[in-house]
Amino acid sequence: MDTPSASFVQLVPGMVGMVLVGSSVTVSHTLVDAPLFTSQAVRYVAATAILMVIARLAGARLVWPRGREWLWLTGLAVTGLVLFNVAVVRGVAHAEPAVIAVAVACVPLVLGVVGPLLERRGPSRQVLLAAPVVMAGAVLVEGTGRTDAVGVAWAGLALGCEAAFTLLAVPVLGRHGPWGVSVHATWLGGVLLAVLGATGEGPSAARELTTAQWAAVGYLALMVTAVAFVLWYSTVRSVGAGRAGLLTGIAPLAAAVVGTVSGAGVPGPSVWLGIVVVIAGLVVGLRPQPAKWRSAPVTCPPDDRSRLPHLRRALRRG
């Protein structure tokens, strides 16, 4: 069963969220020399505080998790927040950043297949056709790079964690909504990272952050976590994980544009070709689908309904 076509308005939050995620690539370079777990813990704890304030102002109702919801939300925080950051940072020690980015570019295909299954429906043919196109475009944008077996393993972990960030939210979005999932994911991730930071980097590691690194953490907390999380989960709830997954192809485009504006250089021909391919894939996967024709129910005129029992008996005898 195909997913009903989503209006452009429903897709806009996810698009904006992916643009913000793409912008984080340039900003994150500032944190290369910062204590990994401590800086990320500060980011998510700050994002939790921001989210709770904004949610209160927006009148969003936050509820405490119960039962199996703890498993989904904790799994989301462990994979999508903690392990993903570890995989990216440790992965670039064995592989060029492009290799990790290309692995993450495979997310649309994973979400296009697994997401609808979690939502108890079949994958959309339209999304399945578009996902490889978006992936190919993202590969062209990010390029390829050198790696070893360990780098490939970290890249695979990054892919799985990025997909889990969306897939593990599907079962709890109905009750908690985008605001609740974002708040619980960030505070759980913040606590886990704070424990890792305190035990592995020391309780005073936050003092090592420079002014520029604090500014980067602030941007990541506000725009890439608090704002982008809510925008992304709003689109996932509106259009489904499979169709929303195609929007992840926007992140590499945003990263390329932000890199150009920030002085990292003008993208080469392969990047521009990749941008065109990604846009083509998005158009294919997100274009409105024609409404399927449905036959009208067959009814009998009032004066003929009395004959139905006689017709049924005659058919049985025949």
Residue 140 pLDDT: 73
Quick one: pLDDT at residue 143?
Answer: 63
Q: Quick one: average pLDDT of 298-309? A: 48
Q: DSSP of 226-270, one letter per residue?
A: IIHHHHHHHHHHHH-HHHHHGGGGHHHHHHHHHHHHTTS----HH
Q: Are 5 and 219 in contact (CB under 8 A)?
A: no
Contact at 8 Å (CB) between 183 and 52?
Answer: yes
Residue from 131, 142, 145, 138 nearest 276 by CA: 138
Q: How far apart are CA 160 and CA 258, in angstroms?
A: 26
pLDDT at 67: 93
> Picking from 148-152, 154-158, 183-187, 289-293, which range would have the lowest pLDDT averaged per residue?
289-293
Q: Is the pLDDT at 318 greater than 60, yes or no?
A: no
Q: How many Cβ atoms from other residues are within 10 Å of residue 238's Cβ? A: 18
Question: Which pLDDT tens digit goes with each residue over 129-176?
Answer: 777 887 777 677 666 556 677 777 887 888 889 889 988 998 999 999
| Among the ranges given (8-17, 51-60, 87-96), the one the predictor scored with the smallest mean pLDDT | 87-96
Greatest mean pLDDT among 17-31, 83-97, 100-114 lies in: 17-31
Q: Which pLDDT score is estimated for 78? A: 95
pLDDT higher at 104 or 228 = 228
Q: What pLDDT, on a 0 to 100 scale, did the predictor assign at position 290?
A: 56
Which pTM value belongs to this model?
Answer: 0.74
Residue 50's pLDDT is what? Answer: 95
The pLDDT mean for the chain works out to 79
Specify the DSSP element, H or E, that contains 98: helix 97-104
Q: Which pLDDT band holds residue 103 (cuts at 50, 70, 90)?
A: low
Q: Tell me the two tokens of residue 62.
A: 């936050």
pLDDT band at 293 (very low <50, low <70, confident <90, very high): very low
pLDDT for the residue 190: 95
21-65 tens-digit pLDDT:
877 767 777 887 889 899 999 999 999 999 999 999 988 889 999
